[in-house]
Structure 1
Amino acid sequence: MRVKCVICDTIQQLEDDLPLAKKLRNRPIHTYMCDPCYTRIADETEKRIATGKFRFFRTSSKFDEEF
């Protein structure tokens, strides 16, 4: 299965039997991100959380109080 990264537009080949390929095929709302983009976003998010200025937005204030 050919997939395209939503951030950098690189095209990669996934085997048809992988769970990720099945998820992308059966649920079109899911998107694919290549490994370099995924790790880059994860690292940048961890850096933002470490600054202390990162704020999680939640759906209800009751949930915020429990957290």
Structure 2
Amino acid sequence: MMVQCVICDILEELDNTAPEAKRLRNRPIHTYMCAACHERVTARTNERIATGKFRFYRSSRRIEGDFYS
């Protein structure tokens, strides 16, 4: 299955039997992000969390506690 990253528009091949490929086929609203972009977004998010000004508005306190631990 050919997929395209939503951030950098790079095309990649996913195995048709992979769970991520099945998720993308069955739920078209889900998007694909390549590994490089995923790592970059994760690093930037962790930097913002470290500043203390980053807040999750759509989650419960229990989930935030689990995330920060």
TM over 0.5: yes
- For residue 54 of structure 2, give the secondary structure of its aligned residue in structure 1: coil
TM-score by length of 1: 0.84
Give the 3-state SS of the residue equivalent to 1:3 in structure 2. Answer: strand
Larger-gyration structure (1/2): 1
Q: How far off is 1:58 after superposition?
A: 2.9
2: CA distance, partners of 1:52 / 1:19: 35
**Distance in 2 separating the partners of 1:23 and 1:53:** 33
Runs of 4+ with deviation above 6 angstroms: none
Correspondence 1:29 to 2:51 = no
Indicate the percent of aligned positions where both proteins have the same amino acid: 56
* Structure 2 gaps, min length 5: 65-69
The match for 2:48 is: 48
- Residues matched between the structures, number: 62
What RMSD, in angstroms, separates the aligned Cα atoms of the two structures? 1.5
Cα distance per residue 1:20-52 (max 9 Å; x no partner): 000101110100000000010000000000011
CA deviation after TM superposition for structure 1 residue 54, in Å: 1.0
What amino acid does structure 2 have at the position aligned with 1:14? Answer: L
Which consecutive residues of structure 1, in runs of 5 or more, have no partner in the other structure? Answer: none
